């Protein structure tokens, strides 16, 4: 059994990202699948519904205080101390609006405002950082291609 005190953070390294040759095709397939879900749920509910995480359990406004962290933890939004506005959404995964008695994974999305630092191409004018979490030990698919097969 792992002892949490023996686990060390893994510093970000861009070499970890491996972009498959068919990523553009996989992205197109995922967009089409999500659009299909939107069409179906909009018809079923007679109004627009998100294709995933359609049912929100809560929407929260708040603040995130970033403390002065050790160098190995000071990455991204956590690189420097400060206070950021946040919006949070708690939801269930499906695109269908299910009863709360149905067992399904829950999600937590956090949008952090006024984040400084390098941006991905095309997002240089933005200043938010999005974090998406789930109450499971791992995401249901290891890659976007595997997710498109679910």
Cβ neighbours of residue 39 closer than 8 Å, sequence gap 6 or more: none
| Average pLDDT over every residue of 139-148 | 81
Does residue 63 sit within a domain?
yes
| Average pLDDT over every residue of 13-39 | 89
82 and 40 within one domain: no
Give the DSSP letter of residue 56: E
The whole-model pTM stands at 0.70
| Average pLDDT over every residue of 117-141 | 84
Please tell me the predicted confidence (pLDDT) of residue 7.
61
62 and 43 within one domain: no
pLDDT 10s digits, 45-100: 898 888 888 888 889 999 999 999 988 888 889 999 999 999 999 888 778 888 88
pLDDT at 146 over 90: no
81 and 27 within one domain: no
State the pairing for strand pair 106-112/129-134: antiparallel
| Cβ atoms of 78 and 69 closer than 8 Å | yes
45 and 72 within one domain: no
- Going by C-alpha positions, the residue among 12, 138, 29 that lies closest to residue 77 is 12
Which helix (H) or strand (E) segment holds residue 35: the answer is: helix 23-45
81 and 29 within one domain: no
pLDDT at 27 over 80: yes
| Average pLDDT over every residue of 116-141 | 84
Domain carrying residue 30: 23-52
Please tell me the predicted confidence (pLDDT) of residue 1.
47
SS3 44: helix
What is the dihedral sign for C-alpha 50, 51, 56, 61? negative
Summary mean pLDDT of the chain: 85
**Percent of the chain predicted with pLDDT > 90:** 33
125 and 69 within one domain: yes
Backbone angles phi, psi at 118, to 5 degrees: -65, 145
Does residue 15 sit within a domain?
no
Domain tally, the chain: 2
């Amino acid at each position: 059994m792992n002892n949490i005190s023996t686990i060390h953070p893994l510093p970000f390294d861009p070499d970890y990202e491996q972009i498959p040759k068919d990523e553009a095709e996989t992205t197109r397939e995922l967009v089409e699948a999500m659009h299909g879900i939107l069409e179906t749920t909009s018809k079923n509910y007679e109004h627009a519904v998100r294709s995933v995480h359609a049912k929100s359990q809560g929407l929260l406004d708040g603040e995130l205080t970033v403390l002065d962290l050790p160098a190995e933890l000071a990455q991204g939004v956590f690189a420097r101390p400060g206070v950021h506005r946040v919006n949070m959404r708690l939801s269930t995964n499906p695109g269908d609006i299910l009863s709360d008695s149905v067992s399904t994974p829950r999600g937590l999305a956090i949008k952090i405002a006024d984040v400084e630092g390098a941006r991905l191409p095309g997002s240089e004018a933005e200043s938010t950082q999005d974090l998406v979490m789930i109450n499971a030990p791992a995401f249901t698919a290891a890659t976007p291609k595997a997710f498109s097969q679910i």
